[in-house]
Structure 1
């Protein structure tokens, strides 16, 4: 009897021990899965970092972010698919190009069933959250937790939309403070009090700053106050940048195309945002109504240069004060992760939602395929698999982010995603021989709003850039009620702009000051790029088969 009892005791002990070991193994395995924090600032361009070596690097605008970047891998050739908020964010969430996701412009929406990145992360056992700017219009319901700004949101005392008893978007909470501080407060509260500490998390932390028009927290009012901000030479002399599509015949469109720092653009320039009472747009409804005197008022004089410099200094200081607030709040987040022992097992990504023009070519805002607008800052830290101090010039774009993060979380790239995972590049520091050699860009919103950029698409390799502007025929006059004739595209000043090509040799001309499309020495290079462009548009589902009036323009002018 005693032997039987002893036997059952031993067996019971072994069963309990094995179950315990199995549970311990399961818990340990789960704990080893990396957390992921994806940090994105709105319009934070690569010029406004130390790590990218721009003219502003000497100001040391991002000490925290530079340190973070140098602890992981920095990407020198990360590009956006469309340099405008909503399409870029849709590309990041879906891993898809614009016509596949259905988000081609600021009116695009991303319903919950297409919010693929959080859906895939949840399949992998992650709890998901998004805090800050969302801007994809429909509820971010695929996330377990969200607290997001309505549309663009406010810099001060922002409201947030949350999940609640009422249908989206009626559940709103009010906050006090500057948005960069408040967004970080919300993220820290979620990390401390709302997440399950036994489950890996995927968190998207999205700042509003430094989106135009810039409003910094008052504590930064003195930052850079007495500092002269280095100015780009192209602010005053744009050389041979552009084409008849962006400048008009004999520069006839320069007063209405693309927001400027200087007085050049009489429709919208930065002075209008700083100095009230200088808005010519309010006086006239169309470009034709603007008298010659308005166009000739601001000549290239010493007085105008002095004025432009003054506006530029104000513009950059406002921008960099917002950047400073972002950098300081990232430090708050990193300090918390370190204090809680979470830092080493957390993949940290930092990027902007596109680039931004900071006076280059006398442009403000984004939208362009020019470098400062096209290029995204991007770096990623994860000591367990990414070598500290590594850097790559491999070409990636924002549709590649989702597949990469999914693979880093232990999953496989979904077949419906068009982006490619660059996990191998992160882990080895080497670019595979079969890695993409070019990226495709498309800006759809022809002459939209008062920024007034002509529609265009193009290809960018490591050495060259080819751009096609098709704007003249954007409005389909044969089918005026067609859905693509959007009222929000095209302003009262002009719906038609000339068709033209631009080509830049980026090795010889990294500042894009000389459009050499007509230079015969590049004929074979341009012909090859056009062939690549045709292939990419087909492969990416980015042709104009659904826009036959645009395809007519392409066919007519392809060999110009």
Structure 2
């Protein structure tokens, strides 16, 4: 009888070892670029896709899930990153604009992941002012940082520098100084952490965050001839405005088109891409806008090429070490970007190219693969989803929701949101001169309310913006199914009166539910009340 039991011992041991392998915690590699819009990613099928700008990201997507309807709630670096880290909207986490800092105690994502046994690191662009102290390891750019020869703030940095965080806030911090292009350096440092710095007995969550392709689009020298002799497809709206916009964005009889929204050509008198990038173009040349666009896009896509090539370096390492199949890989950006659509550059707008974020997830061992999803997701959902991917429970203080069940099944939950909220606070800020606005987007429609006031009354114009320049109030409404390029503002079309009325009700409810009302800003609430039924 004892002999019979002994026969089963090797089988039992093999079963235990097999189960241990199956239950090994999954790693999470979260890769985020700055301003990498969906138009600049091949798998999203834009006019630029035929240029094949992102073969490595596209390969990642082919083995994973591509989300087509992912949106930020504020298309500007600092607030978007704060929402990603906290799972909260701006009035709850306190980060409304570029001037704000995320408090150390609100660095929630690394806190929650460490509770689950993860070793955490963030390397690259941070832009939240306070050090990322809740991560086990960090090397991050000070504020925007430099494209070439960057300093990276680090606990054990070898150099002490005085870092200016704006608004009179200066701190002495330890940094390491590197030679080379930031995309290469950030990848070097992530690989160094993966190889030499982490505790390999623990699962990791690494936030690898490129500076590129943020303006001023400074690419590595090796890409200087990339696309040199290639014609870059141009959007029709670069030249034709149609019925896009409203008096809020154009003024009465287009009186404000030279003041609002940074441009590709000479339209905006403060910030036009030809002048900003110092291209040496003749402003009187009738081909100025075309030439500025071509050079702008080539510089942008050269930065994108550097991002894509460096992503391959990360994936190659994981494959060489046998960790690729046990690592959830996420690729995203902190918001979208206007690549000449409606003759706009930069982001901030609630228009599609600015508001939409790329979002790709690969984990073929457990998640769906090779599919596109039209679920309405926003950046407050990232942290809850990552926590659930790691086996945790979403904390109640997070306002976003986890979409992990979709990753597992490819089926949208029955109770998932039907609209997503957006708000840009930084009225006429940073020389890009975008009016303050908020609104909601469904899978079919978009409703925007431009209230045109800075949230701090009495603030004077300075080098950061024209905050005391109130702009006209107006509504915009777009049928995205019929008009995906948002060329026709249908707000005054009686055909949509009921749809608009229902969306206004939804908008009011969302503002209340998400702590996004204007109780603290009565001068804005007065405008809202006065013009709600215009």
TM range (shorter): over 0.9
Q: Does 1:60 align with 2:52?
A: yes
| 182, 186, 192: which one aligns with 1:183 | 186
> Which residue of structure 2 lines up, in the alignment, with residue 214 of structure 1?
217
What is the Cα deviation at residue 550 of structure 1? 0.5
Q: 1:241 aligns with which of 240, 244, 256?
A: 244
- Relative to 1, partners in 2 of residues 1:343 and 1:102: Cα closer, same or farther, differing over 3 Å? same
Q: 1:96 to 1:108 in 2, by over 3 A?
A: same
Query: How far apart, in 2, do the equivalents of 1:214 and 1:529 lie?
Result: 38
After superposition, residues 189-228 of structure 1 pair within 5 angstroms as 189-228=192-231
Instruction: Give 1:107 deviation, angstroms.
Output: 1.2
For the pair 1:470 / 2:444, whether they are aligned, the reply is no
Query: Which residue is 2:525 aligned to?
Result: 551
Is 1:403 the counterpart of 2:406? The answer is: no
2:337 aligns to what?
356
Q: Deviation per CA, 1:59-84, whole angstroms, max 9, x where unpaired? A: 00000000101111100000001000
TM-superposed CA distance for 1:273, in Å, is 2.0
Return the match for 1:43 from 30, 35, 44.
35
- Structure 2 residue 488 is matched with structure 1 residue 496: no
TM-superposition CA deviations, 1:248-302 (whole Å, max 9, x none): 01100000111000111111100112337899xxxxxxxxxxxxxxxxx97xxxx
- Aligned twin of 1:5: none
Q: Report the equivalent of 1:518.
A: 492
Which aligned pairs between 1:39-438 and structure 2 lie closer than 5 A? 39-164=31-156, 169-275=172-278, 303-304=285-286, 306-438=287-419
**Cα-Cα RMSD:** 2.3
CA apart distance, 1:173:
1.0
1:30, 1:145 → 2: CA distance?
A: 28
Compute the displacement of 1:21 (Å). Answer: 7.5
Unmatched runs of 5 consecutive residues or more in structure 2: 1-5, 162-170
Partner of 1:528: 502
Q: What is the match of residue 479 of structure 2? A: 505
Q: How far apart, CA to CA, are the structure 2 residues paired with 1:541 and 1:449?
A: 26
1:411-449 CA-to-partner distances (Å, cap 9, x unmatched) read: 001000000000011111011121111100000000012
Contact 2:123–2:186 under 8 Å retained in 1: yes
CA-CA distance at 1:28 after TM superposition: 2.9
- Report which of the two structures shows the higher radius of gyration computed on alpha carbons: 1
Q: Output the TM-score relative to the length of structure 2.
A: 0.92
CA distance in 2, matches of 1:489, 1:270: 18
CA distance in 2 between partners of 1:163 and 1:508 (Å): 52
Question: Is the Cα–Cα contact under 8 Å of residues 124 and 209 in structure 2 kept in the other structure?
Answer: yes
- TM-score normalised according to structure 1 size: 0.88
User: 2:377 aligns to what SS in structure 1?
Assistant: strand
For 1:472 and 1:143, how far apart are their aligned partners in 2? 37
**Is the 1:448–1:488 contact (alpha carbons within 8 Å) kept by the matching residues of 2?**
no
Q: Which position in structure 2 is the counterpart of 1:283?
A: none
Change (3 A) 1:363 1:139: same
Cα deviation, 1:65-117, whole Å, max 9, x if unaligned, reads 00101111100000001000000000000000000000010011112210000
2:206 counterpart SS class: strand
In structure 2, the CA distance between the partners of 1:277 and 1:260, relative to structure 1 (3 Å rule), is: same
CA contact (8 A) 1:446 1:490 kept: no
- Cα 1:198–1:28 change in 2 (3 A) is farther
Q: Secondary structure at the match of 1:449?
A: coil
Q: Is the 2:376–2:420 contact (alpha carbons within 8 Å) kept by the matching residues of 1?
A: yes
The total of aligned residue pairs comes to 514
Deviation at 1:169, TM superposition (A): 4.8
Residue 387 of structure 1 and its aligned partner are, at CA, apart by: 2.0
Question: Do the aligned residues in 2 keep the contact of 1:446 with 1:489 (CA within 8 Å)?
Answer: no
Say which SS state the counterpart of residue 173 (structure 1) adopts.
strand
Shift of 1:214: 0.5
Counterpart contact for 1:474–1:496, Cα < 8 Å: no
Choose 160-169 or 436-445, whichever is displaced more: 160-169
1:31–1:199 CA contact under 8 A, matched in 2: no
Give, in whole Å, the separation in 1 of the partners of 2:404 and 2:414: 15
* Pair 31,164 (structure 1): closer, same or farther in 2 beyond 3 Å: farther
CA distance in structure 1 between the aligned counterparts of 2:247 and 2:207, rounded to whole angstroms? 41
- Which whole-Å CA distance do the structure 1 matches of 2:403 and 2:482 have between them? 28
- Asked whether the 8 Å contact 2:455–2:521 carries over to 1, the reply is no
Q: What is the CA–CA distance in structure 1 between the aligned matches of 2:91 and 2:454, rounded to whole Å? A: 20
- Partner SS for 2:44: coil
Distance across 1 between alignment mates of 2:24 and 2:178: 36
Quick one: distance in 2 between partners of 1:30 and 1:410?
Answer: 14
| CA shift for structure 1 position 474 | 5.4
* Residue in 1 that maps onto 2:516: 542
Q: Does 1:28 align with 2:31?
A: no
